[in-house]
Structures are given as structure tokens and as C-alpha cells.
Structure 1
Amino acid sequence: SFDLPPFLFYLCVCVCVFLQQIPDVSPTGRYTTLVPLIFILTVAGIKEIIEDYKRHKADNTVNKKKTTVLRNGAWQTIIWKQVAVGDIVKVTNGQHLPADMVIVSSSEPQAMCYTETSNLDGETNLKIRQGHSLTASVQSVEELMGLAGRLECEGPNRHLYDFTGTLRLDNHNPVPLGPDQVLLRGAQIRNTQWVVGIVVYTGHDSKLMQNSTKAPLKRSNVERVTNMQILVLFCILLVMALVSSIGAAIWNKQHTDEACWYLSRDISLNFWYNLLTFIILYNNLIPISLLVTLEVVKFTQALFINWDMEMYYSETDTPAMARTSNLNEELGQVKYLFSDKTGTLTCNRLMVWHLSSCFYQIIYQASSPDEGALVKGAKSLGFVFTARTPHSVIIEAVTLVIHFSSLLFCVCVCVCATRATLIAHCSSLGDSLGKENELALIIDGQTLKYALSFEVRQAFLDLALSCKAVICCRVSPLQKSEIVDMVKKHVKAITLAIGDGANDVGMIQTAHVGVGISGNEGMQATNSSDYSIAQFSYLEKLLLVHGAWSYNRVTKCILYCFYKNVVLYIIELWFAFVNGFSGQILFERWCIGLYNVIFTALPPFTLGIFDRPCSQQNMLRFPQLYRITQNADGFNTKVTAHILYTLGIGDSSVKELYMTPILMNAFDFLKVAHIADTYVQTNSLSSSCREVLSAGRVMQCWSFWLGLILVPAACLLKDVAWNARTVRKSLLEEVQELEARAVDPGAAVLRDASGRSLNERAHLLTRVFRKTPSSVGRSNSVQQTVSHGYAFSQEEHGVVSQSQVVRSYDTTRQRPSL
């Protein structure tokens, strides 16, 4: 993936590598920057290859799904990506459509078929689509092969509910085609044994893909701040090089006597040579290993998410998956959450609590979750029929049907029983969502179209931000992404979008962080997301634990890398004042070249992988701890300025070694081992590189021990005082101390600085992140294996009315086979 700031960073490093090849310019040799650069780019490339392979593998899972097409006079099984425009495709019950196609015929009367479009618009009720009567009787292979004519249609577009076309069959008049004759890719055939259609749009031309925006290259807020800080360091590098070059020019001008005959007299030429020399000398002020260190750290953090068994859903064998590792720390800063409802907040599992009788009762298969639950409950109590004709259900004749609508919210039918009495059957919709007296905003898609217009957009946003919750119903995928984009641009806060259907792909890709739920609506949302989970309740741990931990780890790793490089090269700057600004190096050249990739490589990984502010139990128990990372208290301009301001003096490797435990929140075996390993490497190499000095004589000098122990301690005195926890402890520090003493931190967390009880925001978070009961999981138990049934949830203004559907079926007749 290409991103401008890292590209410019590595471009500057490559320029330094090129400058090192100029004779008499580089004070560190020709290869001291080239070798680490090659190593770092190799590691970064391997990491990107691994992540791209995972995404490619997930895409292949969709592209290699199989479907049936009519070719060479026979039905052949091919994979989705081989489907072409003009192919005659057969789709059976339960299968997803591989492309947009016009219905030719089906197993149902009058070429009707039932389709679920939850992947497209989020609606789980079945929609009825009907082919034209001209082709309804074309069902056998011979009849299909005998079709001759031309199908004309509009160009590819993203309008889900619009289609204009004309079918011109030989020896027949042209017939118009509309959206009711079209089945869209991503929809699922339900309650229909088979349906045959002619493909009109495939691949990226399909309406599903037309509604999918191009996946953006997402970068976390921490990474954007880091890029700005790298730019500041680069400016500091240029200033240091410029000051050193001016110092060299002044020194050369003052030393023009005969004793310095070997110095060049061309001051103007020497100035530019010296500028290049000092740029090369100070080029590692920006840690060359920072970006690849962060890549490896984030990749490891992503593995922790994948391996978390508490986010593993055993019923579907679905673990949590981090599809990208670039946004781990972004999970710790989320302020606004956008969620789909159907299949995301709800589990698509409905249960019968009271007896209900439905007039068009399913014999074999449920057409929708709500009606399936009602009929299943009725069947368990003995209310079952075995057959139906277009005018009766064995002994009861259908006399009146009152259709479902968004105003009535029920379906009602009157039947005439054998005793000549009218019996009214009614099914209605209810829910168990709790009600609170909070301000909420509810808006539908038609109204939202005007609310998002330029004139009232800001007023709508202000109103929405004033509410506890905003519910948008019947909105298109594009409107979902527009809402997220509006908050993302105007509020300047980190957003997270979560959904489980193809209609959620737009907002998942638009938000800073996209989370997909691998549920009953396919894998489109999962494949387009940054992180995928199996249950909405797992979002709690993903944010409060993995997000907060990753933010703390990544930011401390960045600060540590800045600190250790600034400490090293500020010494070179001070050394320039005593060597006449000659560009001479204080340390051996390979010590400088390998400083980041070997000698100080392990401590950043230690902080970035294993450090944690407090236990996951307390992170989950007290959601208000999340505000610490949410508000970026540990990584901002103020913190970085403090690091740059406290530029110390002393042995750099020892000083940065002592800095490691100061930044740590907790100690364990690996952290201590990494510190010890760095200490041994540094001192071993120092003794081998300084062959001109006798180790025994050096260690007999009191100044050696003074410099080794007291000088770094004095330099770090301010850092220790800065981190001292004596007065004005933060909430996190109190929790850490109580954890260390094995004391319940509840008393400290459930009050604020004024001693008041848990605030309203924490209460809200506690209510939102409630675990889903184990008995309320996703299930397909209401779906049986037999491949036909009836539609219960009526589509408003559908192509076929519900009364027509009821009177079209005769269950005593055998369905046609293909």
C-alpha cells in the first residue's frame, strides 16, 4: 500500500544513501545506512505480502463460488468469475445470485420467485419478483436453447430499485422490463426450487458492486500525528546541519594561519560539502527503524486479536480476525459508533412467547424470521394444515386479506370455516427493546435525502449530536456512508462503523475503523472490513481491551524510538563543538549504523508487544478507563515536545537503556531479558571497538564508574520525577497501584476527582456493552431442507400483491422440475 509520508521518509533516506557514495563527504562510510535500509524494507515487504495474501484468499472464497449455466445444450457448473453477460443461469433455493439477471422462468406459478435482499438493503423480509409472462413457460433445456432474440438494457448504475430494459424475441413484439423482473447479485433465492435468468451485469458492473465505494487507504490518527512529528524532526535535522556548517565555516575562517595549511581555503565550497556531511551524520535523528518496528508491533498485536478465545464463537466456528494491522491503535480512540441494526444489534433469532395462528402457514420452510417463529409455535400446539388450493386451506376458504404496511404493522386475513363463521387471523410485530426517557432522533431515508443537503446539513448534524441516539431507517447504502462521512469530516472525531450485510460496506469503508460481523447476510461486510467478529458483544473487548492496549503500546514504542535517537545524535552535536565542526564521528561507524536495528531493537518491541496499563478484567469492568486513550492523553504534541526538550548528556545506549523501565507499566520476564540483552550487547561491542584503550586500566579509573552510573542517573532524574506518583494521581495510576497491592480498584474507579459516583457516560457505556446471553445466538433453525414455501412478510407496493400470491398456489399439484 502506498502512503505519501512514509514514501517521502524513505526517499530522504535513499538520498542520504546516495550522498554517502560521494567521496570525502560521508563521515560514516558508504554502507552504514544502506544495509539497515535494505533489512528494514525487506521486513516491511514480507509483512505486507502476508496481509495481502490473507485478503486475496478471502476474495477468492467469493470468486470461486459455484453456479450453474446453460452452455452447449447442457447445464454446466462453473465458478462465479466465469459468468458472462448473456449466459442463462440457474439458481436453486438458498443460493446467492452470482450476477444481475432478468428472470426467464421459475418453479413457482407465473414465473414468480422469492428473494431476500438483506445483503443489498438490509431488509430481511422476502421480496417477490416475477418474470414476464412471455417467457414464464420456457422451462426445459430445449425451450431455453430455442430462445432467439435480443435483450437491451441501460448501462451499469448503482440504483438498486431502478431498471429499464426491453426484451425482443423473434416472432414476438418487444416487451418492456422493469426492476420487478430483475434479480440482483448478492440477493438470496428463498422458497423457490429454482429460477432461470439471463445475465445482464457481472462483476463490477453489478448494482451491488456499483454501490461499493473504492476501499480507501486508512491510516490511524496516531500515524498521522507521527508523520507530523517526523517532519518536525526532519526540520530539526536541517537546522542542526545548518548550524554545524556555519560553525565549521567560522572555525575555518578563524584558523587560517600556517599551522592549518592542510585545510582548504575555499570556504564557500567547503560550506556545502560540510552541509552534506552533517546531514549524513545526523540523518538517523529520524529513526530509520521506526516504521518497520511499528509494522511488526502492529502485526503481532493483530495476532493477539486473532488468538483471543473470548472473541471466538463456537457455534459457527468463527474467530475474531484483524484483516489489517494498521488500525489497532485507532480502536482505542473511537468516539462515535455507527451500527447496522438487523443482524448486528439483533441476532435474527425470534422465539414464540404466546400462541399465534397465521393464515398462510408454512409447511416446509420459513420465509422470514418473524413469521417462521410464529408458525413454528403454532405447529408445536397442533395448528397444522397439509395442503392448500388457490381458494381454500382444506376446509377454510380465504375471503379477505389485509396487507402488511408500515402504517398498520400487521397482516390480517378472514377465512370462512365449515360452521359458516368468520375467523380473523392476525400477525403483528413487536420487540423487547427497552425504553428510556432520553432524547432520540428518528429519520427515514426520504427525509434524510433533504437533511443531508448542503443548506441544512450543519443544522441536522447539530441536532443529531445533541441526541443520545440517532436512528436512520430505510436508508440506502450510499446514505449510510454519507452520514458517517459527515460526522467524520465535521466533528473531527474517530468513528467506527459496524455491520453484517453488503449494504453496510459503504459506511464500513468510510469510517476510520470498519468492523464486520460474519452473520447470516453473507461475507461482503466481513471482506470489506478492517476487523471481523462473530457477535456484536465482542466489540466490547475489541475496543476496551485490545484497542486501549494497542494505543498505549504503539505510542510508547514511538516515543521510545524518538527518545533513543535524539539522545544519540545530540551527543554528536555537542561533540562537533569540540572538534572544530569537522564532521568527525564520536562512535564507531558500524555502531551508529546498527544502533537502531540491533543494539536498541528489542526494547521497542518489548514496549509495543507486552506492555499493558492494567489487567483486561479491570479494563472491561470500568469502561471510563477508555477515556484515557480516547482523549490521546499519552501521545500528543505536548508529550513529544517534552521528549525533545529533555535532551540529555551521557552514554546514549546506557541512558536509553535506563529509560526503558521508566516507560513500562509492568515488568515480566521478557522485558527484563530484553533490557539485559541490550546492556550486554552494548558493553561487549564498546570494549571490542576501543582496542586502543586497555579495559583493565579504564575500569580502574573512578571517572569510568562515575560516568557509567551517575551521569545517566543524573540525566534521568527529571524523567523519574516526571513519572513520580506522589500527588495528583491519575485514575489509571490509582488502578495500577491497587492492582499491584491486590486490592479491588472499584472504590477508586467509581468516583471522580470530586468524590462523586460513576458518571453518566460510564453508566451509558456499561449499559451498551452487555454480553449477549448464550441462548440468544444466531441460528438457522427455522429454515428446513425442503425447497418451497410461501411468503409471509409483504413487500409494500410489490409487483405481486399478497392476495394474488395466496390465490396462485395449489399445493396439491407437483412443482415443475428443471
Structure 2
Amino acid sequence: MKGTPIAFIALHPASYTRSLAVTSGHRDRHLVAISYRRKKLRSSRTCWFATPAQASLIAVSISSMAKSIIVPSNERQHDGSVDSDATAKALGHPTGASTCRHFGVGSSTPPPDTSFAPNRISTSIYTPYNFLFKNLFKQFARLSNMYFLFITVLQVIPQVTLSGGYPTTIVPLVFVLFVNAIKDLIEDIHRHNADTMQDGDAKPAFVVTTWADLHVGSIVKVHQNEIIPADMIILASSSPIGQCFTMTANLDGETNLKIRWVPSQLASPDNPMTADADIWAKMHGAHVEAEEPSRRLDRFKATLTTCDNVKVSIGISNLLLRGVLLRDTDWAVGVTVYTGDDTKIQQNSGETPFKSSSLSKMTNIMTYQIIVLQVVLQIVAVVVEALGPDLPYSPRNSQSMLNAFWLFLTYMLLFSNFVPISLQVTVDITRFVQSILLCLDTEMALGGVGVTVYPYFPSYIYIHYFYSTKYYISLNLYLFWCQVRCSDLNEDLGVIQHIFTDKTGTLTCNNMEFRKCAIDGVSFGNVAGPPSAPRGSYLPPSTSNNYRLRSILPFPKRTMDMVSPRGHLTHVNIADKALQQKVVDERHPRFVQFFVNLAVNSAVVPIVDVGTGRLVYSAISPDEEALVCAAKHFDVTLLRHDSTSVAVSRFGDTVLFDVLHMFEFSSERKKSSMIVRERGGSAGVILFCKGADTVVFPALRSPVDAEHLVTYAAEGLRVLCVAQRELSDDVYEAWNAKYLAAKTASDTTEDDLDAIVRDIETQLDLVGITGIEDRLQDGVADALQCFRLAGIKVWMLTGDRPDTAAHVGVGIMGAEGQQAANASDYSIPEFQSLKRLLLVHGRWMNRRMSILTLYMFYKNVLLVLPQFFFGYYCSFSGQSTYYDSLYQLYNVCFTALPVFLFSVSDQHVSAPMSLQYPSLYASQSFGSIRWFWLWILDACISSLVILFIPLAVLGHGPSSIHGFDQGLWDVGLVMNGAVVVVANLRLALESKCWFWFIPVGFASSLGLWSASAYAFSSLLSFGGELYAVLGVVANLSILFMLVLVCVLCCFGAYGLQAYHTTFAPHPTDICHEIDVWGLDPTPPSSPVVIVSDGRVHPKQPHE
């Protein structure tokens, strides 16, 4: 059974939240180049291959599959982390029993341990010393370049040369190598510049230095709006309570601020370390014991021993990661613990995999097959020559075997153009131009209002937009458009079979709204607006049909309450008078506990905006922010949140909670908890908990009815369970002693701590259930319907999977940052743009590149085969019929421009028609081995016509009134001209969209051949054997003969196209004809119906 290619996107661990994955394949058969015979699942570097039966299991086993892409499953822990000697050795770390690194704090020289990586990062491939050699090695790894290098060597051997010993093939070969070398050099210069900018950044620490000069144990001071140069433990900050705010968009794409803390033993509000001398005096000579570098962004464990021999436990909340931005904090001081390749961002970067399209792999197969055909023809020529009779002027001798060998090499030179030398450079340049045109498609651009643009956003443009309605509206508009980062996969966009997509932020708006809640078994939630109102439905009537404007206007305010940091999105959409009465008016204890739980048990940080003086919230996730905003909506406002206390305004009265322990949410825990004690309250110690029903319900004191949970889930709401537990002092003190002892023990693992935390997260009382809505983006439903009609299967993957790889990765740009977009092959503004990317541009580029590849082989076979058949007249002696200069310029000058223009502009079906009939996407295959050999057969037949008709006309006497006889070069010039004209006409038959520059390109190619032939025939220094030939063959009878040759050569292809278009039209032919005549695509009396299987059916009476 042939394997079906199944693949997944490979992004950084947190970039999957705004990404989707696409796999490629052919409609009528499996991919020829990458299908394998396998009975079980087989993994590779970039793709997964599975049988069709196994493909259905991937949605279930995606988690385990994703975790085994990087390392074998037996080398991973259950949480996906790597913990084995083999993996450590692969990462360059020491193996053995010890899994910790030890170093001193504040040393001026690097530690003697050579396993510590330097803080210099290099992403470049070349250096000034190895560029020439390394680039040439890379380029000559391609079969075609090695082939033409061998041909160049053959041209200087006297026994086989056909060019007088001059290596004429070296000119196009050097051109191809030069163009690719320039492209590689430009890309690597960009890498060097990025490395230099980062490694050369100066840090205004105690001594101004650069990133590259930092080492493990260095004490570094970072100021506001600067990037953290290495992973470092926070020792002090400008905040009296030891907090600092960071933005991790470079790591996980999140633009919301995250809070990090100075360890509580080091942060003393009464005696803060604010002076450099104080920090140096307290920390110089301290010692750190930290775990070995790992890829986990959510876990870290270390122990810092101060000069006073006080052991301080360090966790992930005390670690600043390299690449994050310090925000809203004047300065922070830390000690570097991981540098260079050991930092977590570099551990997760990995090596960028090399990707090649299915057509590229198929092209390699075509190249191998055409080389086999060439060798067979060479052997046939040598054998026929050996079996021929002895000639008086060329008697055979005892060195017949050596002569046969030289003849074999001669024919190799004669057939050297069987392999198109310009194929790769033409494909690369075409893909580059296609990418530019793809990025310029304004139909895939998206505007946004109120989007905060940070310096790391690369794809935006700022304009001032005016719209005239009942009032004049002035909008500050930012445009996002499609970006291409891997043009090698352009044609694979037209053969997609599976789409794997995330939900939040990809299919949805990522604007969380508190819609419903259930407290004490009663559900509340009458929304302020229509429940299914699409975005833009609250606009004035004159704008309701303006799709582009509707997509860029902000969400309407449907409640009076709106609290949001920097994004200004509505997070509360509930207007239930009964709930308002229960909470605000009656102040029912159970209802008040519910909203106090939401406000206190959160990772939201209140910040006062210095510009407006308004309280804004910074949250790790939009869900957390929506819950805190809901609490504020019901007069329970979060005022302050730090590592030691939480301040809440409860109906106007400020209430303080002392934070005893805080256990953050993680994908493994699926819940967050906080142990607090209210100051001045009588309730004692309280455990607040919220999380998924799968982890909260089993921890409840008594079972409860899950009716509202099921109802909310059926309505598409994001459900969280809110619970709490009152702890007696004895229970808490016993548990706290056990937890602190385990936390400070050096041999305690994260699993041991999790088990202790789970012990206290039991015997919970369910307070309520929340329902949060994240609406679908505009056009998502229509896009999914189009993909279904196009035969593309869409799978939605829920959850965070860090190691998922795909053949074609598409990222979605948005307010969460650029991580997913930067790590993808293509990035689009929103999900609905994927419809145009695949159905329009994907199909266009697939057809163009397929025909480009087939045509490149066709025109070269058309050029070479007449010389093989000419062996019948020259006893297969290896005589060439073409003048060598015209022969070498054929690919570069006479046929290059038309196929390039075709490959970047041809449109078989217009964009509106492609979107109106998605079934066209899966209805036709443009490139396959079968099509390849049909084009080769067409070239064989045409080459016979090109050879025998000119020989029949010119080979029996003068063809003009001047009485001049035509010789070999006269016939060869006519044949060469016929080949150029036929090759261009054959491409013209495939052109469906004739822009003004298409005929100009064809005319330029033919004019360039005429000019070259005239120059070589007119100047003795140029032509040699070709001198004065043009004057002999330039007559009317030869012109008529050329017309006859061209008609006969193109008659077969034209006849087949005319027959299929007239008597057996394909759906694409019908749509193309509708486009050409400008007809209504769906008239009431349409005689045919195009259905999703891509076939044309007669219209039935009931239809």
C-alpha cells in the first residue's frame, strides 16, 4: 500500500497558538516523489508518512506523535521534556549522574567548565573564508550542476569536442552558479547582520559590555525597553516589592505583560537593594546550583546560596529569559545562568529544516529518467555505428573499442542539452517573482483599528483613511498583508489535501467575552446584543455591505464596562438583572465569593496607565483578563497583585489578601490555585481554585450536577469551574511544612512538588461555572465550506503541542506578536485569507510551475533529438547540425523570456471563478510522470518533422532562383529556427491569459534569434562556418516550409485541446470560456452543473 503524506507544522513551542498546518499531495494519486511502501507509520525529518488507514488515527494520537519527532519516545518524560544521556550528549552537555551546573556569582572571567556555551549566537552559514568553497560544494551537490561540469570537461578533450576545444558550456554554468551564489550571499549577509546587531548590543551594566562578552555568572543590569541578553535569575529590581514586567512576544507571541519576581528572601520592602554597591556587596561570592539546560519554557529549578549561607529556592517566576523585553520597570539586575545555545530560546529554536516541494522531487525523477533516455540513445548510436559497413575513407582499425568510447562521449556532448541547465535558476527566479506578486495581492490585506504596533512587527503599513457616511469618520489604519518566507513551496499550495488548524486566534477572534455563568445551580446570562450577531452588524446601514471597511472597524461596545490593556477589546457581554441584583444589591455571600475568586485567583497584573491615569490589566491569557473584567463589572475590582499580597475593591471597600502560595496554570495541571488569608477577616486560610472540569470535578468534596457545563459546552463557550476550600490552621501548617521541605531539598523533582500540591487541592466546594465566548473570525464558515467543496480535509487540533511539524506552515499575524508568522513558510492576516491563498494563488502557481517544468524538458528534447535522427544521414558519426553558438544561446536567450512571463502571470481560471467554484481546485492534475512522457512523445514527433521536412526540401538541389546549393550549416540554421519557433508556439498554446507583455515576450525571443542569426552570418569573426548562410536560405520557399513545419508540429497539441474543449470540456474549460466572453457564471438556464467531484453533469429538471 502506498503511503499517504501526512505532515504537521514545526514551530517554536508557543507559536502554535496562532498557526495552522497544511499538507500537500495530488488529487488523482499519491505524490510520486514522496510516496513510500510502508506497513507502519514512519517518521522523517520534516514529514510524517502514513497509510490512509493510519491517517484517521492521527487526530487521536497527535500528542504522542508530536512528542516523538525530535527524540525517541523512550528518551522523553511524560511531560515531553528530554532527560537522557543520549539527548544530553547530542546537545553538547556532559552526561552522567549529575544533572546540575555549579558556578559562582559575579566572577569577571568565565567558569572553567568548558561545557558552558558562550553568549555569542551565530545563525549564519558562511564566513568570508569558506564562502567560495562551501557554496560551490552546496551547488555541485545538485545533479544538474555536476552533469554540466562534466560536459564542460568533455568539451576540451580533442577526441570528442564539437566546439573546437572551447568549453562553451561553461558560460551558462557559471551564470547559474553566480546567480545562486549571489542569492545565498545576500541571505547570509542578512543573517550576519542580525547576529552582529544582537551580539554587539551594549548593556549599560556596571561596565558597558556586549552580549557576546557575557558568561555564566555575570551580574547584568538591564533597563526599561531593553531586551534580556541571556537567561538570568532576578536579583533586584526598581520595584520596592521586587516585581518586574516583561513582554515575551519574541518567545511565545504574547504581547500581554507578564510579571516576574525577585526571590522573596532577597526582596525586602524595608531594605531594598537599589544601589549598585548594595547589590554587589550582597551577591558577590554567592553560589548557584541550577539544572542543566532544557527546552521547557514553563519550568526551572535552582538554588542560590548567598554570602550569608542562606539558601534561596529559585523557580520559573524568578527567571528572565533571553529575548524578552523589559517593560514598565526602570531596571532589573540578574545573574546569568544560561548563555548562548544553552538559553531556552535557543534550545527551542532548532535547525531550520530544508523543505522542497513535491514538484521539485518529481523534477529529480524526471531528470534521472531523461538521463537514462540520453544514455540509451548514446548506446544505440554507438552500436549502430559499430554495426555499419566499413567506409573507404574511414576504415576501422584495432582500436575500435577506444573509438567507440570516444564516440560515446561525443554523443554525450551532442546530447548535453537533454538536461535543461537553466531549469533550476528559472524556477528559483520565477518563485521569487511569484512571491512578490503574492504579497502585493490587496485582496489578502487586512486593516486594523487601534492595533498597537511594536518595533518587531515587520509587515504593516500606516495610512490615514476617510470614510463618508452620515458622519465623517477618520480612521488610523494599519494594513497587514501576506508574507512569503519559503517560496520553494509555492506550487504545493495548489495540491493541499489536509489542513490542521488551531482554534483560538486562528479560527476565532481571540477576543474573550464573559457571556454566562452558573452559581449555586442557577444559570445567568442574557447577553446585551444578539447572540449570533456577526462582527460589524452594529455599523450604520450604509457600511453594512462594505466588506473591507466592516473588517477593519472596531468591535461595538455592547456594555458600559470595558477594561483592557493596550488592546481596548470588550471582555464582558452579559446583562442579567437577576445576577446584578444577587451580587450588587443583595450581596449574596455565595455570589460574592464567586467573583472574589475570579479577581484574586488570577495571573492578571493591574497597571495604572501613565498617560490616562486609568487602571488597565495585563494578563497572560485573554481568558484570565475576561474573568477579572467580569468581576470588575460586578463591582469586585482587582487593584493590586504581587507575590505577597492582593488588593481588591469589594463594593467600594478595599480588602487585602496575603498570598501564601500561588500555583500557576499549566497545560499539565489544567488549573490554577492560590492559597490566601484575608487580613482582618474571620475566614482563615482559603484555597481558591479554577480550572477544567476534568481536574476540578474529581477533586470536589461531593459530586454535583454537570447540566450547565454540558449546556455551555454545546453552545461553544469556553468553560471553567470555580471552586474553593477553607483550610484550618492545623491542616495548612502541616501541609506547608511538608511543601517547604520538599521545595528546598536538592533531590526533589517537579513531579514530587506537583504531587504535594495536588494533596491540598482536594475536598473542594464548587462555587460556580463560567462561560466565555470567543467568536469566529469573519469568513471562517465560508472558508471551511469552500475547503470541503475543494476536497480539502480540515482538522482542528486543540491544546498546545510544541513539536508539531508540517510540510507547508501558514502563520496568522495578529496582536499576539509575530512568532508564529515568523516561524512559518507563509503568513496571512486572517484565516479567511487562506481560501484565496490556496484556491486562487495555489492553483495558479501549481499549474504554472508544472507546465514550466514540463516545457523546459520538452524544448530541450525538441532541440536535441533532431541531431540523433540526423545520424541516419551521417552514419552516426557524431556530426552536429547546429552552429554551436546558436545551440548554447537556445536556453538562455531564445526561449527564456516567454516561459518566465507565462509562469508569473498566466491565469487558467480567474480569481472570482476559482472562489465561486471551489471544486475546480481538486478537479485537475497538471504535473505527473505520465504528463512528462506525453510531452516527451510530442517532442519526439515534432523533432522528426523538423529534421525530415527541411532535408526533403533543401537536400536535393537549389531552393532559390540564385542557384546556390545549401550545405550542412544552411540546413542546420533552418532546423534551429524551426525549433525556436515551434518551442515558443507550443508554450503559446498553453497560455490562457494574454496580457500585453505576453506577445511582446514571444516577439522578443524570435527577434533575438533573428538578430543573432544575422550577426553570426554577417560577420566572419563571429560565424566562421555560418558566414553568409542567412543570405542563402532567406527566400520565400523556405519561409513557406517553416510555416508548414510549425503547423504540423503544433497540430497534434492544438487538435487535442480543440477536441476536449468542444466535445469533452473540463469544468476549468467551461469557466475559462465564461471568463473570456464575460458571461454570467450562474444563469438560470445553465445547461450544466459543476459539482464537488470536479465533473460536469447535465442539468436535471429538478435542479
1:237 and 2:488 correspond: no
1:87 alignment partner AA: S
Within a 5 Å distance, the mapping from 1:187-336 to structure 2 comes to 195-251=332-388, 254-257=389-392, 259-260=393-394, 266-315=399-448, 317=460, 318-336=480-498
Equivalent position of 1:751 in the other structure = 1091
Deviation at 1:214, TM superposition (A): 0.9
Equivalent position of 2:218 in the other structure = 87
Deviation at 1:32, TM superposition (A): 2.1
Equivalent position of 2:1067 in the other structure = 731
Deviation at 1:165, TM superposition (A): 2.5
Give secondary structure in 2 for the equivalent of 1:430.
strand
Deviation at 1:186, TM superposition (A): 4.7
Partners of 2:909 and 2:305 in 1: how far apart?
70
Deviation at 1:379, TM superposition (A): 7.0
Kindly tell me the number of residue pairs found equivalent between the two proteins: 677
1:600 and 2:895 correspond: yes
Deviation at 1:434, TM superposition (A): 7.4
Partners of 1:513 and 1:13 in 2: how far apart?
32
Equivalent position of 1:493 in the other structure = none
1:159 alignment partner AA: R
Counterpart of 2:618 (choices 360, 367, 370) is 367
Partners of 1:757 and 1:348 in 2: how far apart?
44
Give secondary structure in 1 for the equivalent of 2:873.
coil
Partners of 1:396 and 1:173 in 2: how far apart?
36
Is the 1:655–1:712 Cα contact (8 Å) retained in structure 2? Answer: yes
Deviation at 1:624, TM superposition (A): 2.3
Partners of 2:505 and 2:200 in 1: how far apart?
23
Moved more, 644-653 or 376-385: 376-385
2:770 alignment partner AA: S
Residues 563 and 543 (structure 1 numbering): CA distance in 2 closer, same or farther, change over 3 Å?
A: same
Deviation at 1:392, TM superposition (A): 6.2
Give secondary structure in 1 for the equivalent of 2:616.
coil
Equivalent position of 1:492 in the other structure = none
Moved more, 516-525 or 571-580: 516-525
Is the 2:1066–2:1096 Cα contact (8 Å) retained in structure 1? Answer: no
Residues 278 and 474 (structure 1 numbering): CA distance in 2 closer, same or farther, change over 3 Å?
A: closer
Partners of 1:387 and 1:114 in 2: how far apart?
14
Partners of 1:97 and 1:132 in 2: how far apart?
18
Partners of 1:307 and 1:32 in 2: how far apart?
40
Moved more, 667-676 or 618-627: 618-627
Q: Deviations over 1:494-528 (max 9, x none)?
A: xxxxxxxxxxxxxxxx3212233343444443333
Equivalent position of 2:179 in the other structure = 43
Partners of 2:624 and 2:905 in 1: how far apart?
50
Partners of 2:1004 and 2:252 in 1: how far apart?
57
Q: RMSD of the TM alignment (CA)? A: 3.9
1:431 alignment partner AA: E
Equivalent position of 2:653 in the other structure = 395
Is the 1:328–1:550 Cα contact (8 Å) retained in structure 2? Answer: yes
Is the 1:67–1:98 Cα contact (8 Å) retained in structure 2? Answer: no
Q: Deviations over 1:140-182 (max 9, x none)?
A: 1222121122223232222334434332222314444344433
Counterpart of 2:280 (choices 134, 145, 164) is 145
Residues 472 and 708 (structure 1 numbering): CA distance in 2 closer, same or farther, change over 3 Å?
A: same
Is the 1:514–1:529 Cα contact (8 Å) retained in structure 2? Answer: yes
2:266 alignment partner AA: T
Identical-pair percentage: 31
1:714 and 2:1048 correspond: yes
Partners of 1:81 and 1:745 in 2: how far apart?
63
Equivalent position of 1:353 in the other structure = 573
Moved more, 27-36 or 679-688: 679-688
Is the 2:497–2:793 Cα contact (8 Å) retained in structure 1? Answer: no
Deviation at 1:593, TM superposition (A): 1.0
Give secondary structure in 2 for the equivalent of 1:199.
strand
Deviation at 1:698, TM superposition (A): 4.2
Bigger relative contact order (CA 8 A; separation at least 6): 1
Equivalent position of 1:641 in the other structure = 933
1:20 alignment partner AA: Q
Partners of 2:1091 and 2:792 in 1: how far apart?
26
Give secondary structure in 2 for the equivalent of 1:658.
helix
Is the 2:153–2:167 Cα contact (8 Å) retained in structure 1? Answer: no
Is the 1:28–1:281 Cα contact (8 Å) retained in structure 2? Answer: no
Deviation at 1:321, TM superposition (A): 2.2
Residues 229 and 754 (structure 1 numbering): CA distance in 2 closer, same or farther, change over 3 Å?
A: closer
Is the 1:117–1:124 Cα contact (8 Å) retained in structure 2? Answer: yes
Equivalent position of 1:22 in the other structure = 157
Partners of 1:387 and 1:162 in 2: how far apart?
25
Partners of 1:676 and 1:235 in 2: how far apart?
35
Moved more, 44-53 or 662-671: 44-53
Partners of 1:225 and 1:46 in 2: how far apart?
26
Deviation at 1:130, TM superposition (A): 4.2
Deviation at 1:234, TM superposition (A): 0.9
Within a 5 Å distance, the mapping from 1:49-88 to structure 2 comes to 49-53=185-189, 63=198, 70-72=205-207, 83-88=214-219
Deviation at 1:688, TM superposition (A): 5.4
Partners of 2:895 and 2:1051 in 1: how far apart?
21
Greater share of strand: 2
1:7 alignment partner AA: R
Partners of 2:839 and 2:240 in 1: how far apart?
54
Is the 2:243–2:259 Cα contact (8 Å) retained in structure 1? Answer: yes
Deviation at 1:190, TM superposition (A): 7.0
Q: Deviations over 1:63-88 (max 9, x none)?
A: 3796855323xxx5x77666543333
Within a 5 Å distance, the mapping from 1:402-551 to structure 2 comes to 402-407=688-693, 409=720, 428-433=770-775, 469-475=795-801, 477-478=802-803, 481=804, 510-551=805-846
Is the 2:839–2:914 Cα contact (8 Å) retained in structure 1? Answer: yes
Partners of 1:585 and 1:625 in 2: how far apart?
46
Q: Deviations over 1:243-264 (max 9, x none)?
A: 112222223xx1254x435x76
Residues 118 and 696 (structure 1 numbering): CA distance in 2 closer, same or farther, change over 3 Å?
A: closer
1:673 and 2:1003 correspond: no
1:611 and 2:947 correspond: no
Is the 1:67–1:89 Cα contact (8 Å) retained in structure 2? Answer: no
Partners of 1:196 and 1:136 in 2: how far apart?
12
Deviation at 1:737, TM superposition (A): 0.8
Q: Which runs of 5+ in 1 are unaligned?
A: 415-423, 436-464, 482-509, 759-818
Counterpart of 1:558 (choices 845, 853, 856) is 853
Partners of 1:588 and 1:349 in 2: how far apart?
69
Equivalent position of 1:166 in the other structure = 303
Deviation at 1:564, TM superposition (A): 0.8
Is the 2:246–2:325 Cα contact (8 Å) retained in structure 1? Answer: yes
Residues 347 and 59 (structure 1 numbering): CA distance in 2 closer, same or farther, change over 3 Å?
A: farther
Is the 1:378–1:384 Cα contact (8 Å) retained in structure 2? Answer: yes
Deviation at 1:726, TM superposition (A): 1.8
Is the 2:493–2:843 Cα contact (8 Å) retained in structure 1? Answer: yes
Deviation at 1:7, TM superposition (A): 1.6
Partners of 1:378 and 1:174 in 2: how far apart?
39
Residues 692 and 129 (structure 1 numbering): CA distance in 2 closer, same or farther, change over 3 Å?
A: closer
What TM-score does the superposition give when structure 2 sets the normalisation length?
0.56
Deviation at 1:466, TM superposition (A): 13
1:743 alignment partner AA: L
Partners of 1:65 and 1:621 in 2: how far apart?
53
Give secondary structure in 1 for the equivalent of 2:486.
coil
